[in-house]
Amino acid sequence: MTYFTNINKIKFEGPKSKNALSFKYYDPQRIVNGQKMEDLLRFSVAYWHTFTADGSDPFGASTMVRPWNHLQGMDLAKARVEAAFELFEKLDVPFFCFHDVDVAPEGSTLRETYQNIDTIVSMIKDYMKTSKTKLLWNTANMFTNPRYVHGAATSNNADVFAYSAAKVKKGLDVAKELGAENYVFWGGREGYETLLNTDMKLEQDNLALFFHMAVDYAKEIGFNGQFLIEPKPKEPTKHQYDFDVATGLAFLQKYHLEKYFKFNIEANHATLAGHTFEHELRVARINGMLGSVDANQGDKLIGWDTDEFPTDLYSTTLAMYEILKNGGLGKGGLNFDAKVRRASFDVEDLFHAHIAGMDSFAIGLMVADKLIEDRVFDNFIDDRYKSYTSGIGKDIIEGKANFHSLEAYALTLGEIQNKSGREERLKGLLNQYLLETISELATV
């Protein structure tokens, strides 16, 4: 069956195209710095937002007009798989991601849930045989069902911990079965509502125990995907334990888990934590922990996770800058953890939204590549820090200085001269590169 009947395969038509249903900038086969754009970007569709979500919000009911709206249960689940692979092909995306409950409904027992998952996973596996689209990552939803009201691995209820373990065990089996490149842990309700009723230490100790069990089980079954933690500061809980990358890092180091995990960084989660997207990417990068990206955007004037499709070209450029500097994302990718607005309820909007996101990241890639190639910021930075390449600066870096030697040196100094940080000039350059890179490409 065809679900998106009026939508043809989305093709690259170049920046002057008036066809809404075409890529203007994303050209999968275009070579950027020796690699194909599609290999550099590794886009992924988020199953939950695109196939499962219905447009409801805390103040409103479902709005999404979908060809599978009349179905229920496993019939619905199967239709979504069919629709998904149709969309993957029409958008030509190389990856997708899902939570267990996105693809298969929970049964009345855990065993029945397993069966539902098995049925759908088998169906997905069949589709994957003939599809180019692979599984970037899967995960277990451990926050929707009321059993997780107090958390999953951090629940005060040991039964919930056990149940969650069973869910992740199954998730890892599925990941192995489908060849997932990563497995993601987003905290869900791993956090607290009020300290008045919370034993934070026990909860975090338990979370670490849980992660160690997951690491052990992955080894046992030979799952080679990368484990990823996805930080978020709040929502649904008032305080999520994986607040941001730095917090996650402190946790992993404390519990000796840092070599098994990297981070899946989401733009909107970064801004909710008071950071820019690029800050979180940078922190992960310089700690060797940049694993994957949830490519979306938030609204900094809004205090909840809006999960918008990424269209801000500053954000996509600076994100791709960090990613290229990281040597790419390895097993990771750019997963559109983004939803069409509640008022964008047509099937067509799903395509407009993904096109907007893919074009925006393609632009970001091209601009970032050019900025790096021309060493625009690198040269400035090299010059800015060059005092550490000789003399007292070199001594410092090389561990040859101490407070005595530095004081002796400082006492010889007259007034210290600094150089301007040139922030306004650099921002002007960023604009010039944004516009000129694309302008030049347009004329090629």
**Catalytic member of 102, 242, 244, 369:** 102
Asked about 102 being catalytic, the answer comes back as yes
Q: Check binding of 75 to a copy of itself (CB under 8 A).
A: no
Using only the alpha carbons of the chain, give its radius of gyration.
24
Q: Is 234 helix (H, G, I), strand (E, B) or coil?
A: coil
The one among 37, 77, 83, 363 contacting a copy of itself by CB under 8 A: 363
Is 244 assigned a ligand-binding role in the annotation? no
Taking the complex as a whole, the smallest distance from the CB of residue 217 to a copy of itself amounts, in Å, to 4
Kindly compute the dihedral angle of the four CA atoms of residues 70, 71, 77, 79, in this order, to the nearest 10 degrees: -70
Is 354 assigned a ligand-binding role in the annotation? no
| Residue 137 near residue 184 (C-beta atoms within 8 A) | yes
DSSP for 363-410, please give it: HHHHHHHHHHHTTHHHHHHHHHTGGGGSHHHHHHHTT---HHHHHHHH
Contacting a copy of itself within 264-283 (CB under 8 A): 271-276, 278-279, 282-283
Taking the complex as a whole, the smallest distance from the CB of residue 280 to a copy of itself amounts, in Å, to 11
Is 305 assigned a ligand-binding role in the annotation? yes
| Residue 87 near residue 50 (C-beta atoms within 8 A) | yes
| Of 1-9, 68-76, 174-182, 398-406: span binding a copy of itself (CB under 8 A) | 398-406
Contacting a copy of itself within 307-336 (CB under 8 A): 309, 311-314, 318
Taking the complex as a whole, the smallest distance from the CB of residue 127 to a copy of itself amounts, in Å, to 26
Q: Check binding of 72 to a copy of itself (CB under 8 A).
A: no
Q: Is 233 helix (H, G, I), strand (E, B) or coil?
A: coil
Is 373 assigned a ligand-binding role in the annotation? no
Q: Check binding of 69 to a copy of itself (CB under 8 A).
A: no
Is 177 assigned a ligand-binding role in the annotation? no
Q: Check binding of 384 to a copy of itself (CB under 8 A).
A: yes
Binding residues for a copy of itself, total number by CB under 8 A:
157
CB neighbour class for 156 (10 Å; exposed up to 12, middle 13-18, buried from 19) = middle
Q: Check binding of 255 to a copy of itself (CB under 8 A).
A: no
Smaller CB separation from a copy of itself, 15 or 328? 15
**Catalytic member of 27, 49, 92, 99:** 99
| Residue 189 near residue 146 (C-beta atoms within 8 A) | no
The one among 103, 334, 355, 368 contacting a copy of itself by CB under 8 A: 355
Taking the complex as a whole, the smallest distance from the CB of residue 152 to a copy of itself amounts, in Å, to 11
Q: Check binding of 73 to a copy of itself (CB under 8 A).
A: no
Smaller CB separation from a copy of itself, 68 or 377? 377
> Where is 112: in which H helix or E strand?
helix 110-130
What is the separation, in whole angstroms, between the first and last Cα of the chain?
40
Q: Is 347 helix (H, G, I), strand (E, B) or coil?
A: helix
Smaller CB separation from a copy of itself, 134 or 347? 347
Asked about 99 being catalytic, the answer comes back as yes
Contacting a copy of itself within 8-67 (CB under 8 A): 15-16, 20, 24, 55, 57-63
Q: What is the rounded CA–CA span in Å between residue 407 and residue 393?
A: 13
**437 φ/ψ angles, rounded to the nearest 5 degrees:** -60, -45
All residues at 6 or more sequence positions from 184 whose CB lies less than 8 Å from its CB, including other chains: 97, 137, 138, 139, 228, 229, 230, 264, 292
Q: Check binding of 206 to a copy of itself (CB under 8 A).
A: yes
Residues within the annotated binding site for Mg(2+)?
A: 230, 266, 269, 294, 305, 307, 337
Residues that are catalytic: 99, 102
